[in-house]
Amino acid sequence: MKKTWIGVIAGVTTLFLAGCGADGPQTPGTSSSVRPTTATSTSRPPVVTPPTGGPATAAPIDTTPGATGVPTTPAQPGPPPAPARGTVVLRTATLSGVPVPGVPVYLSLQQPCDPASHDIPVGETTETQRLDGVTDSSGLAAFTTTTGCYRFGMTAPAGTNPVPEGMHSLFLVDAGATVTGALRFQDTPSEPAPACAEPTIETELGVDPGPDALITLCDGRWAVVSWNSQGDNQRIITRSSGTWTTYVGFPHDTCWTEATAAGVPDSMRRYFSC
């Protein structure tokens, strides 16, 4: 009976010590079924478990500019739009349309000004660009330039007679368009053909222009002329009302007194015998 109580007490003691060891400190050299846990970094994306039971994946990161944690780069300003351009042609010619080449011309951009208005307000604009050129053999000078309001002009060459027309202006409104400005000159009267020229004499006398003419004397009103052809064709001619006519042909019997009265000059005295 005594041994039975001793065994009961020993078993209770063993159970008590086992229960206390489960909650107490770990004895060196022994292992425990309780494992320490590791804290999850808040910087990692949460794990998303797909509904099909597949492997867990990280939640996507929002990369939209401006989202938290995503750096943004400010938009850079683009280049300014290129100004619209067109062509201006300056033409120098006479009133009858004959080109006048070699004329220095200029084109002056006036701002501020709206070319669509076709008006340059006097005293309200200034020159912001000037283009210079010289007209070619056709009397033309071309400029490729921006749209806008322009004044233009020229430096008239010596010996020309420009038409006094005041200030010239033109308006280049549309991109790619061509606008022409006219600078005009008076027509130069054509000089009459020299009266003593062989073609003039032969044309006005109505003679054959083939043989060469020998014009001995000519003052524009009286002349002695002959041609390199057979026969005696020498004659004294006179010009009045713009036309040559024959005064006497050789031989003749007109006296000097009569010739003097007709206006024959003294230089032709030797062609008269009496």
Mean pLDDT of 254-268: 94
Torsion angles phi and psi, residue 92, rounded to 5 = -110, 120
Neighbours of 125 (CB within 10 A): 16
- Whether 248 has a pLDDT exceeding 90, the answer reads yes
Token output for 89: 């042609």
- What integer pLDDT is reported at residue 64 of this predicted model? 56
- CA–CA distance, 140 with 182 (Å, rounded to integer): 10
Compare 198 and 82 and report the one with higher pLDDT.
Answer: 198
- What integer pLDDT is reported at residue 4 of this predicted model? 46
Instruction: Please tell me the number of Cα atoms within 13 Å of 74 on its side-chain side.
Output: 2
- What integer pLDDT is reported at residue 62 of this predicted model? 56
- Whether 226 has a pLDDT exceeding 90, the answer reads yes
- What integer pLDDT is reported at residue 74 of this predicted model? 74
- What integer pLDDT is reported at residue 33 of this predicted model? 42
The single-letter DSSP state of residue 99 is B
- CA–CA distance, 269 with 246 (Å, rounded to integer): 17
Neighbours of 70 (CB within 10 A): 11
For 67-84, the pLDDT digits (tens) are: 555 566 777 777 777 789
CB-CB contact of 16 with 23 (8 Å): no
- CA–CA distance, 251 with 273 (Å, rounded to integer): 11
The mean predicted confidence, pLDDT, of the chain is 81
Mean pLDDT of 93-119: 96
Q: Which helix (H) or strand (E) holds 15?
A: helix 2-23
CB-CB contact of 103 with 155 (8 Å): yes
Full-prediction pTM beyond 0.75?
no
Q: Which of 59-73, 74-88, 107-121 is predicted least confidently? A: 59-73
